[in-house]
Amino acid sequence: MKAFIIKNYKKGGELQLSDVPDPFVKDNQVLVEIHAASVNLLDSKIRDGEFKIFLKYKMPLILGHDVAGIVTKVGSKVKKFKIGDAVYARPADYRFGTFAEQITMNEEDVALKPENLSMEEAASIPLVGLTAWQAMVENATLKKGDKVFIQAGSGGVGTFAIQLAKHLGLTVATTASEKSFDFLKSLGADVLIDYKTQHFEDLLHNYDFVLNSQDAKTLNKSFEIVKPGGKITSISGPPTPKFADELHLPWYVKIIVGLLSSKVRKKAKKQNISYDFLFMKASGQQLSEITKLIEAGIIKPVIDKVFPFNQTNEAMKYVESGRAKGKVVLKIK
């Protein structure tokens, strides 16, 4: 099959279109013919080697963390899916690779595609949807009326998280350029801050939760707006010893991780704020819950641009430019 691969880590390096062996289907796996995938900054970070200390990927490596397609083969122990099912997923770590024509995935990581979405729309959902779900539903104890700050509202995670937060009955503040304000209001944002001319730490006070997706400077400022007993979840780091434990990393990596997050954890403890690093995990069950919201019209996909499969490198560069409003998708079949 055809796939876009990297043979080594290189910052800003191009992916190579190559012929690779067809995937082998194990007993608990499904083989999916990929119709669409989406591009995430996570793919760029892996290509650049940002996680090589923590996550040991084997080369050559196929990138891609979102998929929508058709089941073409099922393992002998698979019970939830049959050949011909339209599905979507965020494959598990070490098993991703959706910039390709086919992929095998454990059935537990897969869900039936929402019936009201195209393949391209479905492929835009899994990574950002699961990230928002795990941050605000699984890991945070938020209640109706709580105030949440979702950074970079017009990005892939932001556009989904705002819609989910409004469904949960939360008051939502976000940052964006002023030209995106009307669009973000239509998604449910209550408080809009122009990051070019305003400072969110001067405008927001006593917030219950922050979803941090930006740099260390922005994370540090986020502590100024959270009330005691509140929570900050970061998807951009720094990672914590808890993250290292969950991935069963070696002792020396745990020490490194502890040092990287020591200042943030001390600051959180001093201010009685919970700090957590979220490295989203695959979950077909949670995706099925998200499917219900999508089919009910509560959450809608937001796609900026669809690229053909042979323009995967151009799609990567577009995502890295930071100009995308919502998700960038690859049409593979």
Q: Higher-confidence residue: 54 or 7?
A: 7
pLDDT, position 55: 87
Furthest CA-CA distance within the chain: 58
Per-residue pLDDT reduced to its tens digit, 95-144:
999 999 999 999 999 999 999 999 999 999 999 999 999 999 999 999 99
Written as one letter, the residue type at 133 is: W
Q: CA 330, CA 124: separation in Å to the nearest integer?
A: 9
So what's the pLDDT on residue 147? 98
pLDDT at residue 297, as a whole number: 97
- DSSP 8-state secondary structure symbol assigned to residue 222: H
The answer to whether 225 touches 269, Cβ cutoff 8 Å, is no
- For all residues of the chain together, what is the average pLDDT? 97
Please tell me the predicted confidence (pLDDT) of residue 56. Answer: 87
What own/partner pairs with CB < 8 Å and gap ≥ 24 does 217-224 have? Answer: 218/151, 219/264, 220/264, 220/267, 222/149, 222/151, 223/267, 223/268, 223/271, 223/273
**Rounded to an integer, what distance in angstroms lies between the CA atom of residue 255 and that of residue 295?**
45
Tokens standing for residue 150: 């979702």
Query: pLDDT (tens digit, 9 = 90+) per residue, 132-160?
Result: 999 999 999 999 999 999 999 999 999 99
Lookup: tokens for 250: 């070696």
State pLDDT tens for residues 31-57.
999 999 999 999 999 999 998 988 889
| C-alpha–C-alpha distance, residues 139 and 115, integer Å | 28
Domain 2-125+302-331 CATH (choose: 3.30.420.40, 1.10.275.10, 3.90.180.10, 3.40.718.10): 3.90.180.10
Query: Distance between CA 178 and CA 197 in Å, rounded?
Result: 9
Per-residue confidence (pLDDT) for residue 234, from 0 to 100: 98
Cis peptide before 301 (omega within 30 of 0): no
The pLDDT, as a whole number, for residue 233 is 98
Instruction: Evaluate the CA torsion angle 276, 280, 281, 284 in order and state its sign.
Output: positive
pLDDT reading at 247 higher than 90: no
- Stated as kind and residue range, the H or E segment containing 233 is strand 226-234
Instruction: For residues 291-299, give the mean pLDDT.
Output: 98
**Domains 2-125+302-331 and 140-277 fall in the same CATH topology:** no
Pick the CATH number of 140-277 from 2.60.120.260, 3.30.70.580, 3.40.50.720, 3.20.20.60: 3.40.50.720
For the cut 90, the answer to whether the pLDDT of residue 177 exceeds it is: yes
- Going from N- to C-terminal start, the domains of the chain cover 2-125+302-331, 140-277
Indicate the SS3 state at residue 240. coil
pLDDT at 49: 95
pLDDT at 175 over 90: yes
Structure tokens at 84: 């011909």
